[in-house]
Amino acid sequence: MKFSEFNFHRDIAKGVKIAGFREPSPIQEEAIPIIASGSDLVGQAHTGTGKTAAFGLPMMDKLAKGEIERALVITPTRELATQVADELYHLGRFAGIRTLTVYGGVGYGRQIALIHKGVQIVVATPGRLKDLYKKGKIDVFNPEIVVLDEADEMLDMGFLEEIKEIFEYIPQNRQTLLFSATMPEPIKELANDILYQPQFISAVGDEETTNNVIDQRYYMINENQRDEALIKLLETEETNKCIVFCRMKREVDRLTEHLQALGFSAGGLHGDLEQRDREIMIKSYRRSEIKIMVATDVAARGLDVKDVTHVFNFHIPFDPQSYVHRIGRTGRAGKSGQAITLVTTEEFRELQRIQKEVGAEMRLATLQGGDGLDDTGREYLAEQIRDIAIHKDAADMLEYMSDMDKEMLIEKLMSRIIEQEKQHIGSQIGFDQETVDTMMQNYVGEKKATRNNNRRRKRR
């Protein structure tokens, strides 16, 4: 199918041609005719599959033809609102369609004034939009088409109640479109509340919840190997831009400083950043002035940057949907991507739960390290030696070998231990499948023994 077959208004068709669009993506091919017909729609598709054009083109076609006068797009973050507005502007500029972004952190005056002057499309974040409606500042803006973009991210960010309140101010006689990468139960309930007999389309496949163009790997490591593993991966992977996800703000700051000290082009992104600093950081990342973005989950919501080749989970996410959101930052618009997770024995069960719930096909991988011992290897080895129980025959063996120089004896014993433990201390990062299986058996056995001991104590 060609875009010319949609019979867009000539000015919209010109914008499509200038943008270089020739053949619609799957979500565009399915969504555009439904939206053009006036039906409500629920569309499931990953970010980067052409969702903005899927809802934007038929929406602007209706504006250009005079079928509607106003449209509203609600997005979870300021950055995504700006990106959506920019794309709509470029596609609709020949039709003279005026677009405004509405978000918090700036004064109300200009936004209110432009809405009253008659902008046709408002792209807004939930918090500021709710405030404007609640205070009666934009009663004149009654959109005939309303789009909820990235609905699951709005849910994750706690905007569900704001969304419901916003729809109390919007006329019932409207066309409503909801787009989401995943469909958790609260999003399905929201769709039932605000949409009328919607048509459902999906561009992710019946059982797919993670992008199939993303190669997903995990490395089973010791806790004290995280930094070393990440650095080795950054040195060996052919990265363009990458995102490193951490769980906590302080970890973002620590890791960013560590990477910068080693000469990596890295920047940090978390919720404590001022809005202006956040914008500067994201612009630097988009322009490739920064190649590595170290971020928390919340800070990366709505972060849509092209050409992200790798996502690194420095820490495993708290829940399966966070994993989907994280790795969705790469492998966009049909391009391949790499999603790499660092996991310890204690976290392995959580990794298995994520694999099961989101249908992710992750493969165990190892990475060849440098020759000899580094600080991490020495620390690991020292810990193992300190934990060795003294065998009852050890003293007799020392007496038996009294003719050997003590220093030579220690070096030989150390050599034997290093050889036995070499897979953990420098020859490779990440354990192989056989070692992982053994470790997990031991871990399960220890957990079972601990539970049994606890039960015995309770009985006493």
How far apart CA 46 and CA 331 sit, in angstroms, is: 10
- pLDDT the model gives residue 424: 56
DSSP state of 295: E
The rounded distance, in Å, linking the Cα atoms of 185 and 458 is 40
- The class of domain 214-368 in CATH terms is alpha beta
pLDDT of residue 12: 95
Residue type, 64: A
**Per-residue pLDDT, 264:** 94
**Tokens describing residue 66:** 């005079």
CA gap 102, 122 in Å, rounded: 7
- Considering the chain, tell me which residue range(s) the CATH 3.40.50.300 domain(s) occupy: 3-202, 214-368
Q: What residues pair up with 339 in beta bridges, in sequence order?
A: 216, 311
Give the span between the Cα atoms of 300 and 313, in whole angstroms. Answer: 13
Name the β-bridge partners of 311: 243, 339
φ/ψ (deg, to 5) at 389: -75, 140
With a cut of 50, list the residues of the chain below it in pLDDT.
206-210
- The span from the CA of 257 to the CA of 272, in Å, is 16
Q: And the tokens for 238?
A: 């052919």
Inter-residue contact 399 to 459 (CB < 8 Å)? no
Say how far apart CA 331 and CA 225 lie, in whole Å: 27
Q: What DSSP character marks residue 302?
A: T
Q: Does domain 3-202 have CATH number 3.90.950.20?
A: no
Determine the pLDDT at residue 206: 41
**What per-residue confidence (pLDDT) applies to 209?**
45
**pTM, full prediction:** 0.56
